[in-house]
Amino acid sequence: MKFAVADGVAVVAHQITDECQVAGVNSPVQLAELERVYQQRQATALMEQGVRLADPARFDVRGTLTCGQDVEIDVNCLFEGQVSLGDGVRVAANCVIANCAIAAGAVIHPFTHIDGEKLGVQVGEGALIGPFARLRPGAQLGAEVHIGNFVEVKNSTLAKGAKANHLAYLGDATVGERVNYGAGSITANYDGANKHRTVIEADVHIGSNCVLVAPVTIGQGGTVGGGSTITKDTPAGSLSVARGKQISLPNWTRPQKKKA
C-alpha angle 162-163-169 in degrees, rounded to nearest 5:
110
Instruction: Confirm whether 113 is a catalytic residue.
Output: no
Q: Which residues have C-beta within 8 Å of that of residue 72, sequence separation ≥ 6?
A: 51, 52, 54, 89, 90, 91
Q: Which of 101, 57, 58, 99 is nearest to 82 (CA)?
A: 99
C-alpha angle 106-110-115 in degrees, rounded to nearest 5:
70
Could you tell me the maximum CA-CA distance found in the chain, to the nearest angstrom?
106
Kindly state the DSSP code that residue 243 receives in the 8-state scheme.
S
Q: Which of 113, 166, 196, 205 is catalytic?
A: 166
Give the H or E element holding residue 4.
helix 2-6
Q: Which of 96, 108, 101 is nearest to 86 (CA)?
A: 101
- CB contact at 8 A, 182 and 208: yes
Q: Which residues are catalytic?
A: 166
